[in-house]
Chains A and B, each alone.
Chain A
Amino acid sequence: MTSTMRSVVGAEAQDEPGDVSTGTVQPRRRRAKRRYRLTPLVLSAGVIILMALFFIWPGVLGLTYSFTSYKGFGPMTFIGLDNYTKLASDPTFYAALGRTLIYTVFSVPLGYALSLSLAVALTNLRARGKTAARIIFFLPWLVSPIVTGVIWRWMFGENFGFVNYVITSLGGGAVPWSSDPNLSLMVVIVASAWAGAAFNMLLFIAALNNVPKSYYEAAELDGANGWQRFVSITLPGIAPTSVLVILLSTLGQMKEFAMIQALNNGGPGTSNQLIVQYIYQTGFAQSNVGYASAASMVLLVILMVIALIQIAINRKATR
């Protein structure tokens, strides 16, 4: 996506010098050009309408809601920045936001390490059975977030789960995976790494295959061991993909909702309520649409800041 981003911006810069010199263009060419102007509009009409209906309109509406005390029905009363000032001193909001940040900070590196390991293991020339392993690695991609939650809830059940069974058989005590907030979040983190690994693995495989083989051969001749080769050739070679994977998974984790609902429903209690669940609860369960929209706008700004920071890092790294 980062490369896309660069080319989009690039396209803007090198836009049609012909446009400027329209006056000197032959009449016939001009008519042809006008025809070429209508066609892209016809081709993009569907997407433009969908974007206007389900992206721009809701976006503007959401911003408007955030300045009102709208309840989902009835009149919209303008209340200025009240929602935002209230939000600034709402401990539940901070708790949800903080929990989401903790979740993201732990699950992104774990997911990164897992998907990179899978990709490295799959691209190793000497490993056997890669076709079968590839199919296995990709299976979690098929599993819906809800079912992912069910699978891991089942694995980590306190009185019936496989993990606690192994721990107690080895002489340990049953670990409170669902009644301790931090342990419960840990299970969610592991589950998210498992669920997201397949897709990122594909991105890494493409990147790993593009690292020139000659670099490895040269390093091997110089006596570099496997780990040294990995750190000084592989990691720099896949840096743009790493930024992409980290960006996408950060944005993805910040809006986690379905999987955690199935796994522990933000529990125990509301201790693991993440930000999207908070927005859902206030907006739909309590019908505080105005207030929930203000919280959404805060999330939106956070997501944009994250994206811009990572794009800036990538620009610097590739320059």
Chain B
Amino acid sequence: MRKKSGEIRRSILPTTMLWVLAILMAFPLLWFLLSSFKGGGELFTYPLSFLPREWTVDGYMRAWERIDFVRYFGNTIVVATLTTALTVFFCATAGYALAKYRAPWLSVFALCILSMTMLPGEVILSPTFSVVRDLGFYNSLIGVILPSILTPTGVFMFRQFFITVPDELLDAARIDGANELSIFFRIMLPLAKPIMLTLAIISFQWRWNDYIFPLIILSDPKNFTLQIALRTLLGSENIDWAILLAASVISMIPLVLLYLVFQKYITSSDINTGLRD
């Protein structure tokens, strides 16, 4: 009994520290979320109250009217899903090639991909714009999708994973006379399912929240993604906060749902090779 109470006493300090940090991290988000349920008048009336005095979804209704969410959700889902599927596929094939084959050019290839992590897309904004335009994809969703498929992070995630797969497995399949490509698709790719899922979640989040490439490539409001549409609310001198708060909350719903479903895959996987993009 005494031992137990001692344990509780010793866990007080770490637990307090943990929850102070949790409150600090959660507060901005919570304040933002609760504010979105306050009426336009209450948002600016002192004294402010933590919980809305009068709960209202007025901001949400006005935001829904002001912004064509159906269209922007549609565009963003198309971009995020297609890019993610292509990212996972191409990163898996290239990562496998880097892990299981040896050739001088593959080392050069690996260094090229590595250098991409250091030279981010922001550095080549104007020329990338020219390339997309010359390929004929200006102001189209394809123009947003194509440049963002290749992520060095993804290639290295798969490379690291396939290195851990024993070569004996590959040799055994070769002795059985299996074709190299079918070894990859039938044996190796199914093994990499956890990596595929992790990369898919990360990539979907990146593409959902992407800003700078859609901003330069999409010009017609019909083709905007959500983030670009949100920006239009910020542009004016007098921001309509009731609409902006509600629209921001709405824009986050799909990702939050996705996170709640796949939570354990993101936070438990050790993405040691995971870089930010």
Interface set of A (CB-CB < 8 Å, partner B): 1, 3-5, 8-9, 11-12, 15-16, 19, 35-37, 39-44, 46-48, 50-51, 53-55, 57-59, 61-62, 65, 72, 117-118, 121-122, 124, 126-130, 132-147, 149-152, 154-155, 159-160, 162, 165, 168-169, 194, 196-197, 199, 202-203, 205-206, 248, 251-252, 255, 257-258, 261-262, 265, 276, 279-280, 283-284, 289, 292-293, 296-297, 299-300, 303-304, 307
Q: Which 4 A-B pairs have the closest CB atoms?
A: A144-B209, A58-B127, A61-B127, A258-B211
Known contacts A58-B131, A147-B251; decide if A139 and B90 are in contact (CB<8 Å): no
Residue contact A121 to B107, C-beta cutoff 8 Å: no
CA A251 to CA B205, docked complex, whole Å: 20
**B15 A127 Cβ-Cβ under 8 A:** yes
Let me know if B18 and A130 touch, CB within 8 A: yes
Task: Say whether, besides A150-B248, A284-B126, A296-B126, A197 and B47 are in contact (CB < 8 Å).
Answer: no
> What residues on A are CB-neighbors of B241 within 8 Å?
154, 160
Q: Which of B51-59, B67-75, B145-153 contacts A (4 or more CB under 8 A)?
A: B145-153
Asked if B252 and A142 sit within 8 Å, CB to CB, the answer is yes
Which of A54, A152, A154 is the one whose CB lies under 8 Å from B147?
A54
Closest residue on chain B to residue A141 by CB atoms: B205
Judge whether B118 and A251 touch: CB under 8 Å.
Answer: yes
Chain B residues near A (Cβ < 8 Å): 7, 10-11, 14-15, 17-19, 21-22, 25-26, 28-29, 31-32, 35, 43-44, 46-48, 89-91, 93-94, 96-98, 100-104, 106-107, 109-114, 116-120, 122-131, 135, 146-147, 149-150, 155-156, 159-160, 180-181, 184, 205, 208-209, 211-212, 216, 227, 230-231, 234, 241, 244-245, 248, 251-252, 255-256, 259, 263, 266-267, 270-276
- A–B pairs, 23, beta carbons within 8 Å: A4-B156, A8-B114, A11-B110, A15-B103, A19-B104, A40-B97, A40-B106, A41-B97, A51-B150, A55-B119, A55-B150, A58-B131, A62-B123, A62-B127, A72-B126, A122-B18, A126-B15, A129-B18, A132-B22, A160-B241, A196-B276, A255-B120, A297-B123
B25 & A136 in contact (Cβ 8 Å cutoff): yes
Interface of A is mostly: helix
The CA-CA distance from A261 to B266 in the complex, in Å, is 28
> Given A16, A121, A252, which contacts B17 in the complex, CB threshold below 8 Å?
A121
A134 to chain B, nearest CB (A): 6
- Distance in angstroms from B184 CB to nearest chain A CB is 7
Residues of A within 8 A of B100 (CB): 40
Excluding A160-B44, A162-B31, 19 further A-B contacts by CB distance (< 8 Å) are A4-B114, A4-B156, A5-B114, A53-B146, A54-B131, A55-B116, A62-B124, A72-B126, A126-B11, A133-B22, A134-B267, A136-B25, A140-B25, A145-B209, A251-B117, A251-B120, A252-B276, A279-B125, A303-B119
Contact B266 A138 (CB under 8 A): yes
The verdict on A139 contacting B25 (CB below 8 Å), with A1-B156, A36-B101, A160-B43 known, is: yes
Do A296 and B123 touch across chains, with their CB atoms under 8 A apart? yes
Residue in A closest to B102 when the chains form the complex, CB atoms: A16
User: Which residues of the other chain, A, contact B123 by a CB distance below 8 angstroms?
Assistant: 62, 255, 296-297, 299-300, 303
Q: Choose among A15, A47, A53, A152 the residue with the greatest number of B CB atoms under 10 Å from its CB.
A: A47
Cβ-defined contact, A154 with B32, below 8 A: yes
Least CB distance, A13 to chain B, in whole angstroms:
9
B28 contacts A194, C-beta separation under 8 Å: yes
Chain B residue at minimal CB-CB distance from A258 = B211
Report A-chain residues with C-beta under 8 Å of the C-beta of B44. Answer: 159-160
Contacting residues, chain B, for A43 (C-beta < 8 A): 93-94, 96-97, 181, 184
Known: A58-B127, A147-B248. A258 touches B113 (CB 8 A): no
